C-alpha cells in the first residue's frame, strides 16, 4: 500500500507531518509513504528512510491561496503532485493537513468523483456522550456551500457505507439534521431529502434529528447540507471549548486553589479532553471521490498525523472506495428499477 503525503500542508509542516509519518511507519509496516515537498526541510526531521520515498518540489499551496485557482495553477505544488500520483495509480490515497478548500478541489478536479455522485461530502467523526456507540459520523461538514436533496441522499448512502465498513457499526441509524423532528420540517431541500431517505429501503433511516441531540448519540450517521453542517461542527467545537474554560475558571475561582484541587481538575479535564478529542478517530474524509482523501486539522501534531494515517490505512485496507463505487452504482440501479416497478407512494 502506498500513501501520498503532502508534507508541506499544515501550520506545523513539514516537522509534525514528517514526525507523524515516522510514528505511523512503526504501526503500519505494510505501507510505503511518498512524501511530497522540500527535500532539505523534510530530511531535517527524518534520517532513516525505510519505507519512505521523497519527491522533491519547491512549490507549496498556502492557507491564503484561493483553493480552485491554486490547484489549477500550482501544478508542481506538494498537494497537487500527491493528488496526481493517486490519479495515476502510483499511490492508493492522499493525506494532507493543508488548505482544506484546495484539498477538496484536488479531490474533485484531479482525482475525480465516483460515478453517480454529483457532489462529494466532507465527513467527520464526533463523540457520542450517550447511546450505543461512542461516536457518530456527520456529513457534509463543508465541502459544499449549497446542496440539493439528491446530494443529501448521496451523503446518506456514502455515510451509511463509511459507518458500517470503517467505523464498524452494524446497520447504522441514519438521521437528517433538520429544524424539527416532524417529517414535514425544514426548507424545500430538507423536505425533499426526507422523502428520498424515507423511500430508500436500503437505509436504516430514523427520521429528522435536531442539532440539540447530536452529542446524545441520536444517530450513527447525521446527514446535513454543507452550510449547516459546517456551522454546527464549528459551533460544537466552539461551545465545548467555551464551556470547558468557563467551568475550569469558575471552579478554580470558587475555592479549589490547593494542590489537591488543582491536580484533581487536571486529571478530570485531561480525561474529558480525551473523550471529546475527535482527532483520535483520524481526520475528515472526502467521501465520493475515486480514492481516499483525508484531511487533518491544520494545527495537527505528529500524534494526530499518525492517527489520521492509521485511518487512511484502514480505509484503503477495507477497500472502501472500490466497494463504495460498486455499492453506489448498484444502489442507483436499484432505485431506478424501483421507480420503473412501482409509482412512489405518498406519505
Q: How far is CA 289 from the centre of its chain?
A: 13
Q: Which is nearer to a second copy, 68 or 206 (CB)?
A: 68
CB 232 to a second copy: min, Å: 5
Tell which one of 49, 62, 90, 145 touches a second copy (CB under 8 A). 145
Beta strand 204-209 pairing with 121-127: unpaired
Task: Work out whether 68 is an interface residue with a second copy (CB under 8 A).
Answer: no
Q: Going residue by residue from 203 to 242, which x/- string records binding to a second copy, judged by CB under 8 A?
A: -------xxxxxxx---------xxx-xxx-xxxxxxx-x
CB 224 to a second copy: min, Å: 8
Tell which one of 246, 322, 326, 333 touches a second copy (CB under 8 A). 246
Length of the chain: 347
Q: Which residues of 78-102 are buried (b: 16+ CB within 10 A; e: fewer)?
A: bbbbbbbbbbeeebbbbbbbbbbbb
Q: Going residue by residue from 274 to 293, which x/- string records binding to a second copy, judged by CB under 8 A?
A: -xx-----------------
**Omega cis (within 30) before 92:** no
Grid coordinates representing 31 are 505501507
Taking every pair of C-alpha atoms in the chain, what is the biggest distance, in angstroms?
A: 73
Task: Work out whether 244 is an interface residue with a second copy (CB under 8 A).
Answer: yes
Q: Contact 230/218 with Cβ under 8 angstroms?
A: no
Q: Which is nearer to a second copy, 145 or 334 (CB)?
A: 145
Tell which one of 23, 164, 265, 325 touches a second copy (CB under 8 A). 265
Q: Which residues contact 64 (CB under 8 A, 6 or more apart)?
A: none
Grid coordinates representing 86 are 493517486
Q: Which positions lie near a second copy, rule CB under 8 A?
A: 129, 142, 145-146, 177, 179, 185-188, 190, 210-216, 226-228, 230-232, 234-240, 242-247, 250-251, 254-256, 264-265, 267-269, 271-272, 275-276
Amino acid at each position: 500500500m502506498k500513501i501520498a503525503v503532502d508534507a508541506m500542508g499544515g501550520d506545523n509542516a513539514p516537522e509534525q507531518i514528517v514526525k507523524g509519518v515516522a510514528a505511523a511507519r512503526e504501526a503500519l509496516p505494510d505501507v510505503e509513504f511518498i512524501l511530497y515537498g522540500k527535500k532539505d526541510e523534510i530530511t531535517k526531521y527524518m534520517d532513516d528512510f525505510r519505507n519512505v520515498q521523497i519527491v522533491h518540489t519547491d512549490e507549496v499551496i498556502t492557507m491564503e491561496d484561493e483553493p480552485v485557482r491554486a490547484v489549477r495553477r500550482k501544478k508542481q505544488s506538494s498537494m497537487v503532485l500527491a493528488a496526481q500520483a493517486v490519479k495515476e495509480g502510483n499511490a492508493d490515497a492522499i493525506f494532507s493537513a493543508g488548505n482544506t478548500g484546495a484539498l477538496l478541489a484536488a479531490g474533485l478536479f484531479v482525482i475525480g468523483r465516483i460515478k453517480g455522485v454529483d457532489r462529494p461530502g466532507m465527513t467527520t467523526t464526533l463523540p457520542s456522550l450517550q447511546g450505543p456507540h461512542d461516536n457518530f459520523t456527520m456529513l457534509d461538514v463543508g465541502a459544499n456551500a449549497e446542496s440539493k436533496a439528491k446530494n443529501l441522499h448521496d451523503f446518506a448512502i456514502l455515510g451509511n457505507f463509511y459507518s458500517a465498513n470503517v467505523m464498524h457499526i452494524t446497520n447504522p441509524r441514519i438521521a437528517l439534521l433538520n429544524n424539527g423532528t416532524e417529517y414535514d420540517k425544514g426548507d424545500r431541500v430538507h423536505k425533499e431529502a426526507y422523502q428520498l431517505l424515507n423511500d430508500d429501503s436500503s437505509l436504516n433511516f430514523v427520521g429528522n434529528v435536531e442539532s440539540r441531540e447530536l452529542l446524545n448519540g441520536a444517530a450513527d450517521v447525521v446527514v446535513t447540507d454543507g452550510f449547516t453542517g459546517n456551522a454546527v461542527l464549528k459551533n460544537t467545537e466552539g461551545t465545548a471549548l467555551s464551556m470547558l474554560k468557563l467551568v475550569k475558571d469558575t471552579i478554580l475561582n470558587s475555592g479549589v486553589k490547593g494542590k489537591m484541587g488543582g491536580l484533581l481538575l487536571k486529571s478530570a479535564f485531561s480525561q474529558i479532553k480525551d473523550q471529546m478529542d475527535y482527532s483520535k478517530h483520524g481526520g475528515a474524509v472526502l467521501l465520493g471521490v475515486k480514492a481516499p482523501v483525508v484531511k487533518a486539522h491544520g494545527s495537527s501534531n505528529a500524534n494526530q498525523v499518525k492517527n489520521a494515517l492509521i485511518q487512511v490505512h484502514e480505509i484503503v485496507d477495507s477497500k472502501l472506495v472500490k466497494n463504495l463505487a460498486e455499492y453506489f452504482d448498484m444502489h442507483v440501479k436499484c432505485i431506478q428499477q424501483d421507480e420503473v416497478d412501482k409509482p412512489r407512494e405518498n406519505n
